[in-house]
Amino acid sequence: MTYANLSKFYINGEWVAPLGGGTMGVENPATEEIVGQVALGSVADADRAIAAARAAFDAFTVWSADDRIALLERILAEYNARYDDFAQAMSTEMGAPMAWAKDAQAWAGQVHLESTIKAAKEFHWEEKRGDTLLIREGIGVCALITPWNWPMNQIACKVGPAIAAGCTMVLKPSEIAPLSGILFAEVCHAAGVPAGVFNMVNGTGPEVGARLSSHPEVDMVSFTGSTRAGVQVAQAAAPTVKRVAQELGGKSANIVLPSADLAAAVSGGVEGCFGNTGQSCDAPTRMFVPIARMDEALAVAKEAAEKVVVGDPNDPAVTMGPLISKLQFDKVQGLIQKGIDEGATLVTGGMGRPVGVNRGWFVRPTIFGHVTNDMTIAREEIFGPVLAVIGYDSVDQAVEMANDTVYGLAAYVQGERSEAVAVGRRLRAGQVSLNYPAWDTFAPFGGYKQSGNGREYADWGIHDFCEVKALVGAGA
């Protein structure tokens, strides 16, 4: 599959040549081969995209909700028509196994568009409170900065609500994984999105991302990425007092209660941690188990980890692909070594590539046992298939350790339902999943503490892209 628009940006309804910024190789992390050169934008490219979005805003934001929903439905139809192309793009740019690329990565974009459409149809755009009429309307021009680890998930759950709310936008996908973002721009064009409503500029965070965050004509920044980068976005946005919504890092706890089926809870936790090669901000990377059952838990975890098949994403038997880049590979290797050096028990996995793999940024699925909550591997977000198993003496101690983190994106509890609910209420996290439920794209997603602010998905996402106007005296 070729990507004809890799060297262009989508601005004001057209594919245009960059004004500057150079190019960067797009690497297939499974093979280390460069599959193309993506154009990197400059401040001037960001400025003209913002200008296009600003010029389009007044006309678009007065579209009726029904017309905006109809536009989203056309985008969804075009997305579905190119569903396999999206899966192939994400398999290429991320090294995701094809089954995962189709059933998780491409599906995420589809389901978020569907959820946003349903939510928009049921959304209360206006309501009366006494003599006051409350109106929810689009906030304005939005900068959407998305990550490489769930490209379509994050693009769809930002672009969809922004269009539903009547906003115009500039999208900056990750320059590391730009292929799927380019396809999404093609989908928007084919769906007839009016010129200037949706714009896309590729580029780096320090150049294009910083300009989008600081530009006075941008009314909101919606950012997904690392906490470190999120701080920089917020600082850049502060002088113009624009709204900033952020979904940042995580170090999610998974508490296995004494009432849980230990084998099911532990094996499910390994699967959750290792999904997407561990490159998910809400991955359950800290597993808390009763200390008296530590050895039993580690045996289950070891067996589950060693069933993972790492290798060529095109092999149907493969269940785990590579990490995204050499930079990420080196980071994960360093943290695995740190776990060994600090005295955690290496149960399985460890340093280096899996046996028989000599290229690509593949790592060994790794389990550490007898981890203490002060170890580096229990504190830092690893973003790889590395699970830290921590023992506890009491549920109160487990809750205390689970909350002892700067992060608060997600948490998990396994055990008898009423007990799991009681523990979930005590956890300082934006989303707590009990007994591995199905993904709920209508549940709000976002974090406490340094995991960010604001909430995404369905109506929660639409609210974030709206201003609330009060017409006092409009009549009862």
Q: What is the CB neighbour count within 10 angstroms for residue 243?
A: 18
Contact 436, 411 (CB under 8 A): no
Strands 431-434 and 220-224: unpaired
CA–CA distance, 475 with 236 (Å, rounded to integer): 41
Closest CA to 218 of 253, 195, 249, 244: 244
CA–CA distance, 288 with 427 (Å, rounded to integer): 13
CA–CA distance, 260 with 263 (Å, rounded to integer): 9
Catalytic residue among 207, 247, 381, 456: 247
Q: Is 389 helix (H, G, I), strand (E, B) or coil?
A: strand
Q: Is 273 a catalytic residue?
A: no
Contact 158, 71 (CB under 8 A): no
First to last CA, the chain: 59
Q: Is 281 a catalytic residue?
A: yes
Catalytic residue among 142, 188, 281, 466: 281
Contact 32, 359 (CB under 8 A): yes
The answer to whether the Cα torsion of 301, 306, 307, 309 is positive or negative is positive
| Residue 160, φ and ψ in degrees, nearest 5 | -55, -55
CA–CA distance, 164 with 459 (Å, rounded to integer): 10
Which helix (H) or strand (E) segment holds residue 260: the answer is: none
Contact 298, 321 (CB under 8 A): no
CA–CA distance, 148 with 93 (Å, rounded to integer): 9
What DSSP character marks residue 437? P
Closest CA to 21 of 4, 5, 9: 9
CA–CA distance, 331 with 224 (Å, rounded to integer): 20
CA–CA distance, 417 with 317 (Å, rounded to integer): 35
The residues that are catalytic are 247, 281
